[in-house]
């Protein structure tokens, strides 16, 4: 049954995979290098985090897990059941559940603080990634603009009919990021 697809590929002109040869790598060397660089960068950022940031991240991760939910179901559920007097052998120590409410409130204060600390750190990382994206996009736009100008010059040299002049002029002009951001802000403000 496993030989069928290999035979079908062989009949379509593709050679059957050899058990002694490694298949072609799924990623190009450039892509593999970029992935490794991103992972190395992420590890470096994590290593640079302070002990408090690492603790806040670990607590946030744990608080966002199903294990945390299950622990709370058992602890809070058990607390409530025991204090409702359903087990006569165990006297209720918090029949109004005020102590439980206070514990839950204090826990919520600390958990929300840990989550906010972690979110602030993640937002800073997101800002750095957004800056990198913007820089790469601007570089790409600049290179594309230069290529358009070069192709236009080649077309003129070969006396190939160029695009209309206003289009070429617009496409060969670099984008001014500040002007674009000002235009977006003006549009959002309704100016």
User: Residue 173 carries which DSSP code?
Assistant: S
Residue 1: pLDDT band with limits 50, 70, 90: very low
Distances in Å between the Cα of 131 and the Cα atoms of 14, 36, 124, 138 are 44, 20, 11, 10
Q: CA-based diameter of the chain, in Å? A: 100
Query: Burial letters for 19-46: b for 16+ Cβ neighbours within 10 Å, e otherwise?
Result: eeeeeeeeeeeeeeeeeeeeeeeeeeee
User: Residue 87 carries which DSSP code?
Assistant: S
Q: Which of 12-26, 56-70, 145-159 has the highest mean pLDDT?
A: 56-70
Whether 118 and 126 have beta carbons less than 8 Å apart is answered as: no
Q: What is the pLDDT of residue 178?
A: 85
Residue 51: pLDDT band with limits 50, 70, 90: very high
Q: What is the pLDDT of residue 191?
A: 61
| C-alpha span between 3 and 1 (Å, rounded) | 5
pTM exceeds 0.75 = no
Q: Please, what is the average pLDDT of the chain?
A: 86
The more confidently predicted of residues 35 and 7 is: 35
């Amino acid at each position: 049954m496993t030989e069928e697809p290999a035979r079908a590929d062989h009949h379509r002109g593709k050679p059957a995979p050899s058990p002694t040869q490694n298949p072609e790598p799924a990623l190009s060397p450039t892509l593999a290098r970029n992935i490794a660089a991103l992972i190395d960068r992420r590890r470096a950022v994590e290593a640079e985090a302070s002990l408090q940031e690492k603790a806040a991240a670990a607590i946030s991760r744990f608080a966002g897990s199903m294990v945390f939910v299950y622990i709370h179901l058992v602890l809070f559920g058990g607390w409530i059941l025991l204090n409702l007097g359903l087990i006569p052998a165990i006297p209720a120590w918090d029949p109004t559940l005020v102590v439980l409410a206070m514990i839950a409130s204090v826990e919520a204060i600390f958990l929300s603080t840990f989550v906010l600390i972690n979110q602030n750190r993640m937002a800073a990382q997101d800002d750095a990634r957004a800056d990198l994206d913007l820089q790469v996009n601007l570089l790409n736009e600049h290179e594309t603009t230069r290529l358009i100008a070069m192709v236009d010059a080649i077309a003129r040299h070969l006396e190939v009919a160029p695009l209309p002049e206003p289009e070429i002029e617009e496409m060969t002009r670099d984008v001014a990021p500040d002007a674009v951001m000002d235009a977006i802000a003006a549009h959002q403000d309704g100016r």
